[in-house]
Amino acid sequence: MSTKKLRRYTKQRRLVHDAIINRTDHPTAKEIFNELKPSGIGIATVYRQLAAMVEDGILATVDYDSETRYDPLTSPHAHIVCSVCNRISDIELPRDVNDLAPENLGFEVNEIELTWKGICNNCQ
Amino acid sequence: MSTKKLRRYTKQRRLVHDAIINRTDHPTAKEIFNELKPSGIGIATVYRQLAAMVEDGILATVDYDSETRYDPLTSPHAHIVCSVCNRISDIELPRDVNDLAPENLGFEVNEIELTWKGICNNCQ
DNA sequence: TTTGTTATTGATAACCAATATCATTAAATT
DNA sequence: AATTTAATGATATTGGTTATCAATAACAAA
């Protein structure tokens, strides 16, 4: 059924992959583009490759401040966002959060999105 | 300190206020605009009045699918979003969700955002 | 290796939600 | 009624993202 789409191993695919795969700071497409600019890559390609990686389950997306950010951590987890430095950090999802699912409404849960907003240690 | 900004009671303010204040379906600015179109209101004014109501604490915002949606329920609560019909519903925030705060990291929590994504009763 | 097929690329136009600009209008105050 | 100035409506602009398309390059076949 869900056969993974065949991807060509282009130079650009490797560039984007290597630029994001070990990041924990949830960069935007623009940020990745700026870092890869010296290679001559086009910004549309950066958007395309990031979208492809999301489609392939290699990246997750985090929407924040009207921008899509990318996260190589795809297993379920929560985020904490500092409203001062705008840093987004991954954090363990509370185990009991699954027990809190709204099953009573007959809602079939596929995904949980949990974000704590506030001020981080550094910015206080 | 935080003196509430003085607002003039314009016809447009009343229109936007009355259009959103009892809604539970989290409409976008465009949707409100379309409903009020016959009145001759401008879309910029709809955006401005909604922003003013958010500033005054009368509305909360919900970002979904690259659009800002507005919610007259401003007390802390969670959302469930159906990926089929795209309906966003308010739901009670689990009582013990505050206990799950990442205090151990020295993070000062101001706001919790909790959304369940899945398929609602109707769409299954 | 050469050829052929076609996904991918880079440049850029287009899209769309949201905001900024600005002359005009109309609340609120005097 | 006159004055002040916030608010309005039309619309230009912004900024993130996607669509378009001719050229290129990855992969397969010969």
Residues of A in contact with B114 (CB under 8 A): 112-115
- Which pLDDT value is given to residue A73? 98
- Tell me the pLDDT tens digit for each residue of B14-40: 999 999 999 999 999 999 999 999 999
**Domain B78-118 -> CATH class:** alpha beta
B40 is near strand D: CB distance < 7 Å: yes
List the single residue in B111, B114, B116 with the smallest CB-CB distance to A118. Answer: B111
- Tell me the pLDDT tens digit for each residue of A86-97: 999 999 887 777
Rounded alpha-carbon distances, angstroms, from residue B46 to A78, B17, B41, B109: 34, 10, 8, 31
Enumerate residue ranges in chain B where pLDDT < 70: 1-3, 98-100, 103-104
Fold topology of B11-71: Arc Repressor Mutant, subunit A (1.10.10)
List the single residue in B106, B112, B117 with the smallest CB-CB distance to A111. Answer: B117
Do residue B124 and residue A106 have CB atoms under 8 angstroms apart?
A: yes
- Which pLDDT value is given to residue A55? 97
List chain B domain ranges. Answer: 11-71, 78-118
Report the b/e string of B91-117 with b at 16+ CB within 10 A: bebbeebeebbbeeeebbeeebbbbbb
